[in-house]
């Protein structure tokens, strides 16, 4: 009798064992992650960055309150605590999503590319265990980072003014949003081996599901379609960025009693969407794995390669492929190869669909500007230029961040190093080639300038400073991406660090003056303010001479600021170029 009861208990424990659902993939990824030095480095660097972030905002807040008496300063400590808490929450919210997207950008594609997914399909491991094991193992690393910042939030609550409900709700929203971002990244990694393509597709999905509804509602209000606008506003329930902003507004308004009740249903809905994406991923993984184990073409191949592979498997087809006439190389070999990759034709339906959506969105944007007669406004062209500038920098950076790691993963890196090419030739070729690969995105910026300068809507004086700034900025982000690609072993690691660096240095959202004034986007805006005659953009640079930033503000507002920016960018480019050369022969056979 006792043995029977023991057997029943063991059966129940075996049934509810988490390993039964997640499988050995989850444990294998956890063991590997615990032994990787980069994860220790991330957990070491994250609290340092967070501490510097907190100390800067705390010192800024105290400096603003020095003019008040001690009693007033004590009464404002709750306001300072609220300000610090919201800053940490937003920092954590953005940072965790970036890591989730980058970590899972090659989760499935590595298994497909290394021909191990088909082998996994021959084992008792199911596609469900593969997908959820990959996701949860990376999610565990993100939970550790969230746990690191939790004591800091708890300590800041000593100042008062921050309820526990806001802290807990923000952590839950951050976690569920990271799960959704990771699910999207894992899903796109099934269809693309290159991590920069996966990251771009996830960011594009973010744009269409989070930004497009907000823009559509704005224009519907202008058109007077209040009913349809109110219907679209309901989509804000699924937008974590809007929810975080709402929770912040409610937390900073003690008289309000609304706002904290909707986050629970939002988290449940986001988890539901993530589950649908993951189940779809399970189906796709099983389909690709079965094709790979039977010798058929995988999803990462082109349509022509899949047809050849299918014919080989079905009819024992082994006809030599005709590659056509051999082309002469008229450029340095690495630059020629990188530029040729950007001109390769693709039959990918998702790529064609994304191009159609992008063209439709651009046409719609210009059509609306013409309809509302705002195309003559100065700020309209500044916005267009900054958007195109940002997109070009982003694509150049993502291309560069995986330019060398993909060679390592494809086992072609040792072959490239045995050629007559010197390390500096390879590094130089990768940097210039990454800029060339992003030519369609730079073409948007150039076309906008070329079209509207003759029409007199943009002053011709802006052309030369912007050209110098664009070239130096493109070389800057490309060299930094190649540097990370030469240092890191995996594309995921290189893409992660490169994305963090890119968002820190390029986007002027950080209030630290060094990063704010050093942003290429800020430099472009200052060029339009000085050379384009948009003086309202530089009116803020009129602080008193006693300000510690007075000299920097004078330089930014001068006519030669673009030269100073370009010199600084080229110095950083040269340093990154040198580091990439020094690390060129690291981990050749890893």
Interatomic CA distance for residues 497 and 494, integer angstroms = 5
Interatomic CA distance for residues 557 and 555, integer angstroms = 5
Q: Tell me, what's the pLDDT at 476? A: 93
Identify whether the C-beta of residue 429 lies closer than 8 Å to the C-beta of residue 479: no
> What backbone phi and psi angles, to 5 degrees, belong to 259?
120, -30
Q: CA triplet 253, 255, 260: central angle to 5 degrees?
A: 65
Distances (CA, A) of 188 to 104, 181, 244: 9, 11, 26
Q: Tell me, what's the pLDDT at 259? A: 45
The residue with greater pLDDT, 340 or 208, is 208
Q: Which two tokens stand for residue 537?
A: 């953009």
DSSP state letter for 210: I
pLDDT, tens only, 266-306: 888 899 999 999 999 888 888 887 777 766 554 445 455 55
What are the domain boundaries of the chain? 2-61+76-294, 333-582
Burial of 77 (0-12, 13-18, 19+ CB in 10 A): middle
Interatomic CA distance for residues 299 and 373, integer angstroms = 46
Helix (H) or strand (E) holding 399: helix 378-401
In sign, the C-alpha dihedral spanning 476, 481, 482, 486 is positive
Cα torsion through 221, 223, 226, 227, rounded to 10:
-130
DSSP state letter for 65: T
Q: Tell me, what's the pLDDT at 64? A: 57
Q: How confident is the model at residue 511 (pLDDT cuts 50, 70, 90)?
A: very low
Q: Which two tokens stand for residue 42?
A: 């991330």
When computed from its CA atoms, the radius of gyration of the chain, rounded to whole angstroms, is: 26
Interatomic CA distance for residues 403 and 406, integer angstroms = 6
> What is the rounded average pLDDT of the residues 4-25?
61
Which ranges of 117-163 does DSSP label H, i.e. alpha helix? 117-121, 127-156
The reply to whether the predicted model has a pTM over 0.75 is: no
240-251 vs 77-103: helix crossing angle, rounded to 10: 170
The residue with greater pLDDT, 436 or 304, is 436
Identify whether the C-beta of residue 194 lies closer than 8 Å to the C-beta of residue 344: no
Residues in the chain: 590
Q: How confident is the model at residue 113 (pLDDT cuts 50, 70, 90)?
A: confident
Residue 535, classed as helix, strand or coil, is helix
């Amino acid at each position: 009798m006792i043995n029977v009861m023991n057997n029943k208990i063991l059966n129940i424990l075996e049934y509810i064992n988490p390993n039964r659902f997640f499988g050995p993939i989850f444990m294998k990824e956890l063991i590997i992650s615990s032994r990787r030095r980069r994860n220790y480095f991330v957990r070491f660097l994250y609290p340092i960055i967070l501490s510097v972030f907190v100390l800067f905002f705390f010192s800024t807040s105290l400096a603003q309150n020095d003019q008040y008496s001690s009693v007033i300063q004590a009464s404002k400590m709750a306001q300072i605590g609220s300000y610090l808490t919201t800053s940490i929450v937003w920092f954590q919210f953005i940072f965790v999503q970036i890591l989730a997207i980058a970590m899972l950008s090659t989760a499935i594609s590595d298994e497909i590319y290394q021909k191990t997914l088909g082998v996994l399909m021959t084992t008792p491991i199911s596609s469900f265990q593969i997908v959820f094991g990959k996701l949860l193992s990376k999610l565990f690393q993100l939970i550790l980072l969230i746990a690191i910042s939790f004591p800091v939030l708890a300590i800041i609550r000593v100042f008062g003014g921050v309820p526990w409900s806001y802290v807990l709700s923000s952590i839950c929203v951050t976690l569920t949003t990271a799960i959704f971002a990771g699910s999207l990244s894992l899903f796109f990694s099934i269809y693309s081996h290159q991590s920069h393509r996966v990251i771009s597709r996830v960011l594009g999905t973010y744009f269409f599901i989070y930004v497009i509804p907000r823009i559509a509602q704005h224009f519907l209000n202008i058109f007077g379609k209040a009913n349809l606008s109110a219907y679209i506003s309901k989509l804000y329930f699924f937008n974590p960025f809007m929810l975080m902003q709402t929770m912040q507004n409610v937390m900073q308004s003690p008289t309000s009693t609304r706002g904290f009740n909707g986050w629970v249903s939002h988290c449940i809905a986001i988890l539901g969407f993530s589950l649908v994406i993951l189940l779809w991923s399970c189906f796709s993984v099983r389909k690709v794995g079965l094709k790979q184990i039977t010798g058929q073409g995988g999803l990462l191949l082109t349509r022509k390669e899949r047809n050849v592979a299918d014919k080989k498997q079905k009819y024992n087809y082994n006809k030599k492929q005709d590659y056509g006439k051999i082309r002469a190389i008229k450029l340095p070999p690495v630059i020629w190869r990188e530029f040729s990759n950007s001109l390769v034709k693709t039959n990918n339906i998702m790529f064609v669909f994304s191009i159609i959506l992008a063209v439709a969105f651009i046409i719609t944007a210009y059509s609306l500007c013409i309809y509302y007669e705002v195309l003559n406004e100065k700020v309209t062209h500044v916005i267009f230029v900054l958007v195109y500038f940002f997109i070009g920098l982003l694509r150049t950076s993502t291309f560069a961040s995986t330019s060398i790691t993909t060679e390592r993963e494809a086992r072609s890196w040792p072959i490239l190093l045995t050629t007559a090419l010197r390390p500096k030739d390879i590094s130089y070729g990768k940097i210039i080639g990454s800029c060339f690969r992003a030519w369609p995105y730079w073409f948007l910026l150039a076309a906008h300038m070329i079209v509207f300068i003759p029409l007199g809507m943009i002053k011709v004086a802006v052309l030369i400073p912007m050209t110098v700034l664009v070239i130096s900025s493109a070389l800057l982000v490309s060299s930094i991406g190649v540097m990370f690609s030469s240092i890191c072993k995996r594309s995921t690691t290189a893409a992660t660090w490169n994305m963090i660096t890119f968002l820190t240095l390029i986007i002027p959202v950080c209030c630290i003056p060094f990063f704010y004034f050093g942003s290429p986007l800020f430099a472009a805006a200052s060029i339009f303010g000085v050379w384009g005659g948009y003086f309202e953009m530089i009116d803020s640079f009129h602080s008193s001479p006693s300000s510690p930033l007075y000299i920097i503000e004078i330089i930014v507002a001068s006519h030669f600021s673009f030269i100073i920016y370009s010199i600084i960018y080229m110095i950083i480019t040269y340093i990154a170029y040198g580091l990439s050369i020094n690390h060129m022969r690291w981990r050749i056979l890893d």
